[in-house]
């Protein structure tokens, strides 16, 4: 509770202070450094986390891009402070999910799906600050202890019920639900501390719009699957997080406070840094089975940061992969627009060629595929493309 009071006081002070002095309005709590495990159970947990980090580090799912990793580390440092960020070791995971996490031993995973869905340094800083807040508040350790205590109690309750021939299912369900409630409380506390971090950073506070977009993406996928859209405000009894709508409301209130929108959101730099590796960020989304959600995300980046040949090629590939007759016509248009840029990736000509062949425009298709091989003579699929040209 001491942390919650400190955070609430800091945020209230921030709202009253002059916006021009935003960077001096919040003093971060003293940082004692990374927590060292105490006791056999905690040391065992740390050993598991160390082994998990080694596994992640050596995994082929890791995007090994030192320039991007240094850039992401810089955003974290500007957000939570340079004394704190030195405790984090960042790994970029090639995965389509909107996710980041930080283990109690200090290793942080940032998924490419997250980088694909945020459109500025300020938006990314909000997510990274939230994950670091979990780390600093030791929520993973607290959850570990809570689950261990709860499972011990469940075992004793179950044994007592068996010995006394008493139905204890209601009590057991209550204990399980308390675990999820504890997690929701942690999420809100992490959001509040993250907001306090950003108050003392050079970034404006951009939390709420992220959760609004996540709701819209989810509804786009549900509509495609002919499912009812969800707009729940209150979480269900087994939800471990607040709902997107719930988060949007209380984070939007923080963002509306005086001075919260001061600062450079870093959108132009974010665009420059991530455009360089755009295929890696979006490939898992494009290859997934959620067309409408992926299209929503790609359109979001184009509308916010501008369309370039790489993003047009990415969207063309999405439509080509689904492959309905109308999708192929749409994909061809995206590829044609992309190839108008001389600096377009070779894959734009590949996509144009394959799509044109499928809709029966053989001459256009072969010309585009020949251009692809000219620009990418050592392409992995060069042999198969040459076979198409010989037909």
Domain boundaries, the chain: 2-255, 276-390
Task: Report strand pairing: 89-93 vs 107-111.
Answer: parallel
Q: Rounded mean pLDDT of 182-196?
A: 82
pLDDT of residue 192: 87
Which region among 35-49, 212-226, 373-387 has the lowest average model confidence (pLDDT)? 35-49
Q: Where are the alpha helices (DSSP H) in 225-308?
A: 244-255, 267-275, 278-287, 291-305
- Mean pLDDT, to the nearest integer, of 232-237? 52
Cα-based distances in Å from 298 to 11, 109, 278: 34, 22, 11
Mean of the pLDDT values across residues 112-119?
96
Residue 332: name the closest of 346, 347, 319, 345 by CA.
319
Residue 313 has pLDDT above 50, yes or no: yes
Q: How high does pLDDT run on average in the chain?
A: 80
Compute CA distances 184 → 206, 243, 336, whole Å. Answer: 21, 9, 48
pLDDT of the residue at 143: 56
Residue 247's pLDDT is what? 75
| pLDDT beyond 80 at 243 | no
Q: What's the CATH superfamily of 276-390? A: Tetratricopeptide repeat domain (1.25.40.10)
Residue scoring higher pLDDT (136 or 379): 379
Closest CA to 369 of 329, 325, 358: 358
pLDDT recorded at residue 227: 79
Average pLDDT over residues 34-46: 68
59-63, 130-134, 147-151, range with the lowest pLDDT? 147-151
Residue 329's pLDDT is 97
- pTM, 2 dp: 0.78
**Would you state the pLDDT for residue 253?**
86
């Amino acid at each position: 509770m001491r942390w919650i009071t400190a955070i609430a006081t800091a945020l209230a002070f921030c709202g009253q202070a002059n916006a021009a002095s935003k960077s001096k309005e919040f003093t971060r709590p003293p940082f004692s450094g990374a927590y060292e495990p105490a006791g056999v159970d905690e040391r065992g947990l740390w050993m598991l986390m160390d082994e998990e980090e080694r596994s992640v580090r050596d995994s082929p799912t890791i995007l090994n891009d030192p320039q991007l990793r240094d850039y992401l580390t810089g955003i974290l440092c500007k957000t939570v402070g340079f004394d704190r960020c030195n405790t984090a070791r960042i790994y970029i995971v090639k995965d389509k999910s909107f996710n980041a996490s930080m283990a109690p031993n200090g290793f942080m995973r940032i998924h490419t799906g997250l980088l694909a869905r945020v459109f500025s340094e300020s938006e990314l800083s909000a997510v990274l600050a939230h994950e670091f807040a979990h780390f600093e508040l030791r929520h993973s350790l607290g959850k570990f202890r809570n689950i261990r205590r709860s499972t011990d109690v469940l075992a004793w309750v179950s044994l007592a019920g068996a010995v006394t021939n008493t139905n204890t299912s209601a009590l057991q369900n209550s204990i399980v639900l308390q675990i999820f409630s504890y997690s929701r409380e942690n999420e809100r506390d992490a959001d509040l501390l993250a907001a306090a971090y950003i108050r003392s950073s050079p970034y404006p506070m951009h939390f709420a719009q992220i959760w609004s977009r996540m709701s819209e993406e989810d509804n786009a996928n549900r509509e495609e699957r002919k499912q009812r859209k969800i707009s729940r405000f209150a979480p269900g009894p087994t939800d471990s997080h607040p709902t997107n709508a719930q988060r949007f409301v209380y984070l939007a209130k923080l963002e509306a406070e005086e001075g919260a929108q001061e600062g450079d959101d870093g959108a132009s730099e974010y665009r420059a840094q991530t455009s360089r590796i755009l295929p890696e960020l979006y490939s898992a989304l494009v290859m997934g089975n959620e067309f409408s959600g992926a299209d929503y995300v790609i359109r979001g980046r184009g509308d916010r940061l501008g369309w370039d040949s790489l993003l047009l090629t990415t969207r063309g590939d999405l439509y080509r992969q689904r492959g309905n007759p109308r999708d192929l016509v749409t994909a061809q248009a995206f590829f044609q627009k992309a190839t108008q840029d001389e600096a377009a990736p070779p894959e734009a000509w590949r996509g144009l060629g394959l799509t044109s062949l499928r809709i029966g425009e053989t001459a256009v298709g072969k010309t585009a595929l020949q251009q692809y091989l000219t620009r990418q003579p050592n392409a992995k699929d060069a042999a198969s493309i040459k076979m198409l040209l010989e037909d």
